[in-house]
Structure 1
Amino acid sequence: MESSAQPLAVEALSVRFGGLAALSDVSFTVEPGSLHALIGPNGAGKSTCLNVLSGVYAASAGSVRYGSHELTRLRPHRIAALGVARTFQNIALSPRVSVLDNLLVARHRLMRSGFLADGLKLPRARRERAEHEARVREIAELLGLTELERPVGTLSYGTRKRVELARALCAEPELLLLDEPVAGMVRDESAAMADAISRARAELGISVLLVEHDMTFVMGMADRVTVLDFGKRIADGTPATVQRDPDVLKAYLGAAA
């Protein structure tokens, strides 16, 4: 599917917490339809960057633009309305609720009938819910999720992470921000997640910016990689170029190549 996404341009982004500089003058661009990885050692500023992009943190300086929209002063719900969705390091699903109902939560901002009409089961609301449920089932099938009536808490860890990915996709984003999507997974689960992300990119035409520590996962999927260390950008390029960069090797291995 041809991408309808817009470029995400991060320019000279800085974030300070009191006297601590979490990010300093960081710049990179996520091209439409691409998978861009943001990597670096622990404490490099990766999650801080995602939190700025999604409106959780405020930037101290710099600019983040998605297409023609400046994001740095927008609240999270305003950024989401522009077509930006994200997942978090920790699973944030309702464990006692079914997979289907967890996914439908992401559709509420797209519904016209509202919570009251849906709760009263008015005819228009029932028709709209059926339409959204059909779309949710399509996205679940795309990611290999079949047990939609099961409570989320009864699923394996890797499957719950794919449910969280599916919920983000159910918001119909153009840009997806993924914070450590395969953290804590065994090899088979990681492979299933890689397949799910690849399917979503191909079928939905979205851009993806992901933060991840699993270098095998990153280098096998990313079109471009930006590397942070102590809040500063130390490298940006293709996976092959970044893997050979002396500053990257020093940051990860503690010695120059």
Structure 2
Amino acid sequence: MTVPVLSVRDVTVRYAGLTALDDVSFTVAPHTVHALIGPNGAGKSTCFNVLSGLARPASGMVRLGGTDLTRLAPHRIAALGVARTFQNIVTTAGTVADNLMLGRHLHARAGFLASALSLPRAVREEREHLSHARRIAELTDLEAYFDSPVGLLSYGDRKRVELARALCLEPRVLLLDEPVAGMNAAERARTAEVIGRIRAELDVSVLLVEHDMGLVMRLADEVTVLDFGRRIAHGTPDEVRRDPEVLRAYLGTPQEGAA
């Protein structure tokens, strides 16, 4: 059997008596796109916060391969191979290249002094990091803007800058939090192509939260559905779209959904 790259087991999160996640379990298989969906308030963002170390569960466990991530700090989780984007764009001033190079910081080995003095090994490392960033820019359709200020890019392009920066960390698991939110139809289609390309060309698994069901059904290999913090369904896109509990959560009662 295929060993999951990411395993979430019986995770419960409570905030001041409110249960945000209730005994949630799912696994992400290697080299797949796994979607985490559900109505607003279902617990999707809380789940992402647990996976990236921004929230601690009251119980349960998260494992990346054989490593327990449950109590680790965000920077340690990132170093182990989990990278994340956010619903709202988080980019810095400067060029696309500047932003992507920030994603290489965990792979820096030369040290501050060597870089400040432009020692040969630091110069060589900087060149290698820049080359890797360019390859990621090409993969994410940003090569034409590599030296352009991020502030001049369109909304959709800036969202892809954040995605590309996360990829520059060379993650084993890429967490995409609503990657096409706020985009127009052309931008959504382009980003969907990029996500498909990432799955095909990189050694990375993708876990995405997304409200665009067309994109989810087109890209996902497996889907986990949350509602009020509980897992109510899991399976292939076709299985999930026919599940009575999913119809109830999104559309009301199963009978109303069928109608």
Task: Give the TM-score range, shorter chain.
Answer: over 0.9
How many residue pairs match? The answer is 252
In the TM superposition, 1:212-231 aligns within 5 A as: 212-231=210-229
Other-structure match for 2:232: 234
Alignment equivalent of 2:126, drawn from 126, 129, 152: 129
Offset of residue 117 of structure 1: 2.5
Equivalence for 1:186: 184
Say whether 1:112 aligns with 2:136. Answer: no
Deviation string for 1:220-252 (max 9, x for gaps)?
100000000000000000000000011100100
**Matched residues in 1 for 2:116 and 2:160: separation?**
28
In structure 2, the partner of 1:248 is 246
Give the % identical residues.
63
8 Å Cα contact 1:225/1:242 also seen in 2: yes
Tell whether 2:49 aligns with 1:51.
yes
Q: Does 1:67 align with 2:81?
A: no
Q: CA deviation at 1:151?
A: 0.9
Alpha-carbon shift at residue 7 of structure 1 (Å): 1.9
Q: Encode CA deviations 1:21-65: one digit per residue, 9 max, x unaligned.
A: 000000111011110000000000001000000100001111111
Could you say what secondary structure the match of 1:171 adopts? coil
List gaps (5 residues or longer) in structure 2.
none
SS in 2 for 1:72: coil
Amino acid at match of 2:52: S
**Matched position secondary structure for 2:60:** strand
Counterpart of 1:42 in structure 2 is 40
Name the SS for the 2:254 alignment partner: coil
- State the SS of the aligned residue for 1:32: coil
Any unmatched runs of 5+ in structure 1? none
* TM-score, with structure 1 as normaliser: 0.96
Q: Which amino acid aligns with 2:205?
A: S
Say whether the 8 Å CA contact 1:108–1:114 is kept in structure 2: no
For residues 103 and 116 of structure 1, what CA distance do their matches in structure 2 show? 22
Q: When the two structures are superposed, what TM-score results if normalisation uses the length of structure 2?
A: 0.95
Which letter does structure 1 place at the counterpart of 2:67?
H
Matched, 1:161 2:192: no
Matches within 5 A, 1:74-89: 74-89=72-87
Q: Secondary structure at the match of 2:114?
A: helix
Aligned-pair distance for 1:6? 5.2
